Structure 1
Amino acid sequence: MATVEDFTSQYGLVRKIDAFGYLDYLKNNPDAPRKHGKVVLVTADTPLKASRGEGKTTTTIALIDALRKRGIDATAVLRQPSMGITAAGSKGGASGGGKASLTHPELIDWGLCGEMGAIEAAQNLLVSFAEKAIDDGKLDTVLVPRVSEVPSRSLRSVAVDYGKGDVPEKMVLTPTCELMQIVVLSRSMDEIGERVSAMIAGTLDGKPVTFGEFIDLWRITNILADAVKPALTETSKGTPVYVHGGPFANVSIGIPTLVSVELACALHDVVVVEAGYGADAGAQKWLDIASREYGAQWPSAALVVTRATTWRDDPARQWRYPFHVNRLEKLGIPTFPLVNLWDGEDDQIPALRETAAELGFREPIIGNLFRDGGDGLTGQIDDFVTALEAVGVPSNPESRKGEDIVDTVRWIAANAYGVPAERVVFKPGFEESLNAARELVAGVGRDLNDFAVCAVKSPATMTDDDAAAAEERTVTLKKVEVRAGSGIAQVNLTKSLTTPMPKIV
């Protein structure tokens, strides 16, 4: 009988696992040994600054090290970070830090596991095919953007001269692109091929044309052969960690690949999944896209990470952290507040515990995890382990596909941002964008209401103005973009920036 080792190969200093092949083997061999691990979601408070992390990855690594020390077979699934933003210094690395770090952080932070580069090459090849299709008279516009790991604002919008007049094109960051979403959501190479085939390349005489109408899909899927395999690395304490996928949580779906999580659940008892940015971004998308629409496991527990300063030093925005914790609790997910201390903040612990008690939180977990790693958690997670062991694998809530897309956005605003439906407003031009999106997908025989909704928003704010009084907060809808291959309707809200620049460090 086969084991996961039969589906594993060396890839530089890490190992890669053919998750598609292994999960298919388990499906076809129901008597093969496997586990049914529970998912724990690590998310965060909405950061005061988009360029500043709250410490989700450090917390995730410390947590699994602490669980392993207690004899629990735990692992984590992380996203591959974006080289142009994360590694260049805008928000630190994405491989933890200090005593809560991976053994080879440079491989993760600089994209050396390979999937970012392969996805970038594959989507850019698609654009090249679309440009050739213009030469051949099969298209007269290009709708799929080129991508880059290195941000350049000069390339946000460009015009290409084909000798028939300029054709507008644009460029986005690799983590935000449609092909990244396709890899994250697909459960087989055949599904990737079908989704790439359904991507809308552009239009001809106003009618949409998909890539499946004029290219051989093997050209793309061959590029992705290693990119679809999760990387297996480990923490400095030897705890296994899977790294795969890397979409941004504010302008994309912000979660690791579904197959990497399913693989980990088949091999371990507890699988900690890190969702990007705050609970209003990555966690919302794990719950409402991955779980509701794509069958990913609903979390059995959650931790919401914050910094002491974020939670307590901005009175106008203090409402956000309790909102996140209470929202997840209302969904039936046992949720634990975790305060990630920095050096010199140990004296704040009594006051933080007092505030947590006043807010009615579960017993908070507080520590300097960079300094102490998993050792800083082992004595604080009794209640967490008890809550996790008390629940089975939850069932998923119903899909919202088929509902009017604007009603779905209003529901997201009310549930994830605390803004009632009547205070969701339209920016001039939104309705025209919505109608154009409906017509575009109707041209390929589909209904926009059947797409999963992905909110594109600022990572540092939940509403148009988080400092406004509760009864005055609004959410503005700006435009709709169609991603027919991934089945995602991107709805731009409030402030959103798809090509942020790295800060100079």
Structure 2
Amino acid sequence: MTGIEDFTKPYGLVDKIDAFGYLDYLKSNPDAPRKHGKVVLVTADTPLKASRGEGKTTTTIAMIDALRERGIDAAAVLRQPSMGITAAGSKGGASGGGKASLTHPELIDWGLCGEMGAIEAAQNLLVSFAEKAIDEGKLDTVLVPRVSEVPSRSLRSTIVDAGKNNVAERVVLTPTCELMQIVVLSRSMDELAERVGNMTAGTKDGKGVKFNEFVDLWRITNILTDAVKPARTETVNGSPVYVHGGPFANVSLGIPTLASVEMATALHDVVIVEAGYGADAGAQKWLDIACREFGAQWPSAAIVVTRATTWRDDPDLQWRYPFHVERLENLGIPTFPLINLWEGEDELVDGLKATANELGFRTPIIGNLYRDGGEALAPQLDGFAEAVSVEDIPATPESHRGTPLRDNLNWVSEHAYGVPAERVVEKAGFEASLAEAQELCESVGMNLDDLALVAVKSPATMTDNDALPVQERTVTLKKVEPHTGAGVVHVNLTTSLTTPMPKIV
């Protein structure tokens, strides 16, 4: 009988799974054995510093180990981290740590599952085609940026000598690029090829030109043959983990590929999905982009991770953690606060529980997961297991497609950041950027308001200044950039960079 192993091949020390092929097999064979697993979203408090993680991956790994210890068939789907930032040591790796770690963390942290390099090569080839189109008079400008896994300040803005006219170009990190978004959102090679063809290469006489007008797309899809296949690995305790898709939820999607999550739900009863940075970033994008706009499964439960120091040490920012938990609860998602203790913090447990009780939280899950792994969590998961065991899978809320972009921005600002419409302000030049984006979309036969909104923001702040009193917090709209192939539109809010630099640590 055909099963997942028929779509799996070794790839070095991990396996690669043809998720597209497996999902197509299930669609064509409705009686084939499969599960209908529940999705649980792991997100976090907004970190005090962009370079400091709260422990989402460590929590995700410890959670599946703990659930499997309780006899529940659980698996995790993680994002493939960016070598240039994560593995260079600016923050923790994306493979957990201590007793809550993967068997081959170096493969994950350094991008050796292959998709980062392949996506980088494929998008850079597209840019090369666009540059050649300049030479041939098919384009006047190049809009799609080159990408690199190794960041460099010198690459944020460049001028390329194109003979008679110099051409402005730029370079972004691989996870933030449009081709990564296309891989994350696509569920078949045909869909992926169509999306690549719909990418806007540049402009000619002020009108957008898509790649399908002058490029044979097989050149790109061939490069991505292995990049679209999730890697299968496991925790040090033998729990299954799938790794696929891009990080950086502040400047891109920051979620695993939809195909990898859909595949995992066909194989396991509970699938824990990790989303990037805080609930204002990765969770917002899983719910409002993956679920609302692209049909991913709405979570049956959520876990909001924080370090004890993030939650309690800055009085001006203490509002953020309760805001995240309450927001998810208000969406009908049973939400469990999880506090990831560091060494020497065990004596804080009673005080943390008391504070959680005062805030009206569900009973918090607390443990030093690096030291104790899933063993710390298994005895605390009665309420969580009960919430996830509810039979019905929650329905995905309706799409915002067609909502005017400005209205959509007001909605996200209010619901994800706690800033009402009257305090959403526009920086000089925003209106011109919005009009230019609308014109570009119209010139390639698209409606800007049909694109899913990707808020591009600082990972460490929810508003322009989170330390202000609630009635004074604002969100400033700065720039609009449509990604017509991915079907999303970027809007810059607070300070953020698509080519951030690693810290020396």
Q: TM-score, normalised by structure 2?
A: 1.00
Cα offset, 1:498, TM superposition? 1.3
Deviations 1:299-339 (A, max 9, x none): 00000000000000100000000000000000000000000
Q: How many angstroms apart in 2 are the aligned matches of 1:497 and 1:471? A: 28
Q: How many angstroms apart in 1 are the aligned matches of 2:247 and 2:320? A: 24
Q: Does 1:393 align with 2:388?
A: no
Q: Aligned residue for 1:194?
A: 194
Residue type of the partner of 1:35?
K
Q: Which moved more, 1:117-126 or 1:247-256?
A: 247-256
Cα offset, 1:387, TM superposition? 1.1
Question: What is the DSSP-based 3-state SS (H/G/I as helix, E as strand, rest coil) of the residue aligned with 2:179?
Answer: helix
Q: Does 1:35 align with 2:44?
A: no
Q: Aligned residue for 2:238?
A: 238
Residue type of the partner of 2:68?
R
Q: How many angstroms apart in 2 are the aligned matches of 1:295 and 1:54? A: 28
Q: How many angstroms apart in 2 are the aligned matches of 1:97 and 1:246? A: 20
Q: Aligned residue for 2:492?
A: 492
Cα offset, 1:87, TM superposition? 0.3
Question: What is the DSSP-based 3-state SS (H/G/I as helix, E as strand, rest coil) of the residue aligned with 2:425?
Answer: strand
Cα offset, 1:445, TM superposition? 1.1
Q: Aligned residue for 1:478?
A: 478
Cα offset, 1:500, TM superposition? 1.0
Deviations 1:273-318 (A, max 9, x none): 0000000000000000000000000000000000000000100000
Q: Does 1:203 align with 2:206?
A: no
Q: Aligned residue for 1:89?
A: 89
Question: What is the DSSP-based 3-state SS (H/G/I as helix, E as strand, rest coil) of the residue aligned with 2:465?
Answer: coil
Please give the residue correspondences for 1:171-320 in structure 2 after superposition, counting only pairs within 5 Å. 171-320=171-320
Q: How many angstroms apart in 2 are the aligned matches of 1:424 and 1:497? A: 21
Question: What is the DSSP-based 3-state SS (H/G/I as helix, E as strand, rest coil) of the residue aligned with 2:170?
Answer: strand
Runs of 4+ in 1 over 3 A off after TM superposition: none
Q: How many angstroms apart in 2 are the aligned matches of 1:92 and 1:313? A: 21
* 8 Å CA contact 1:300, 1:391 repeated in 2: no
Cα offset, 1:137, TM superposition? 0.9
Q: Aligned residue for 1:120?
A: 120
Q: How many angstroms apart in 1 are the aligned matches of 2:473 and 2:162? A: 47
Deviations 1:435-478 (A, max 9, x none): 00000000011110000000000000000000000000000000
Deviations 1:210-253 (A, max 9, x none): 00000000000000000000000000000010000114100001
Q: Aligned residue for 1:108?
A: 108
* 8 Å CA contact 1:180, 1:247 repeated in 2: no
Q: Aligned residue for 1:21?
A: 21
Q: How many angstroms apart in 2 are the aligned matches of 1:248 and 1:351? A: 33
Q: How many angstroms apart in 1 are the aligned matches of 2:301 and 2:223? A: 37
Question: What is the DSSP-based 3-state SS (H/G/I as helix, E as strand, rest coil) of the residue aligned with 1:390?
Answer: coil
Question: What is the DSSP-based 3-state SS (H/G/I as helix, E as strand, rest coil) of the residue aligned with 2:293?
Answer: helix
Cα offset, 1:391, TM superposition? 4.7
Q: How many angstroms apart in 1 are the aligned matches of 2:47 and 2:391? A: 30
Q: Aligned residue for 2:378?
A: 378
Give the CA RMSD over aligned residues: 0.5
Question: What is the DSSP-based 3-state SS (H/G/I as helix, E as strand, rest coil) of the residue aligned with 1:432?
Answer: helix
Deviations 1:370-406 (A, max 9, x none): 0000000011111110111125211100000101001
Q: Aligned residue for 1:130?
A: 130
Q: How many angstroms apart in 1 are the aligned matches of 2:165 and 2:272? A: 52
Q: TM-score, normalised by structure 1?
A: 1.00
Q: How many angstroms apart in 2 are the aligned matches of 1:40 and 1:185? A: 19
Q: How many angstroms apart in 2 are the aligned matches of 1:446 and 1:3? A: 40
* 8 Å CA contact 2:246, 2:253 repeated in 1: no
Q: How many angstroms apart in 2 are the aligned matches of 1:240 and 1:494? A: 37
Question: What is the DSSP-based 3-state SS (H/G/I as helix, E as strand, rest coil) of the residue aligned with 2:303?
Answer: strand
Q: How many angstroms apart in 1 are the aligned matches of 2:136 and 2:13? A: 44
Q: How many angstroms apart in 2 are the aligned matches of 1:5 and 1:445? A: 42
Percent identity between matched residues is 77
Residue type of the partner of 1:289?
I
Q: Aligned residue for 1:405?
A: 405
Residue type of the partner of 1:115?
E
Cα offset, 1:88, TM superposition? 0.1
Cα offset, 1:162, TM superposition? 1.1
Question: What is the DSSP-based 3-state SS (H/G/I as helix, E as strand, rest coil) of the residue aligned with 1:379?
Answer: helix
Cα offset, 1:430, TM superposition? 0.2
The alpha-carbon distance between structure 1 residues 496 and 170, as it changes in their structure 2 partners (threshold 3 A), is same
Q: Aligned residue for 1:435?
A: 435
Aligned length: 505
Q: Aligned residue for 2:141?
A: 141
* 8 Å CA contact 2:46, 2:459 repeated in 1: yes
Cα offset, 1:259, TM superposition? 0.3
* 8 Å CA contact 1:181, 1:247 repeated in 2: no
Q: Does 1:349 align with 2:349?
A: yes
Q: Does 1:445 align with 2:435?
A: no
Q: How many angstroms apart in 1 are the aligned matches of 2:286 and 2:362? A: 23
Residue type of the partner of 1:270?
V
Q: How many angstroms apart in 2 are the aligned matches of 1:401 and 1:246? A: 23
Question: What is the DSSP-based 3-state SS (H/G/I as helix, E as strand, rest coil) of the residue aligned with 1:407?
Answer: helix
Q: How many angstroms apart in 2 are the aligned matches of 1:354 and 1:248? A: 34
Q: Does 1:458 align with 2:458?
A: yes
Question: What is the DSSP-based 3-state SS (H/G/I as helix, E as strand, rest coil) of the residue aligned with 2:459?
Answer: coil
Deviations 1:34-57 (A, max 9, x none): 000000000000000000000000
Q: How many angstroms apart in 1 are the aligned matches of 2:313 and 2:169? A: 43
Q: Aligned residue for 1:3?
A: 3
Q: How many angstroms apart in 1 are the aligned matches of 2:57 and 2:208? A: 41
Structure 2 unaligned spans of 5+:
none
Q: How many angstroms apart in 1 are the aligned matches of 2:119 and 2:497? A: 21
Q: Aligned residue for 1:78?
A: 78
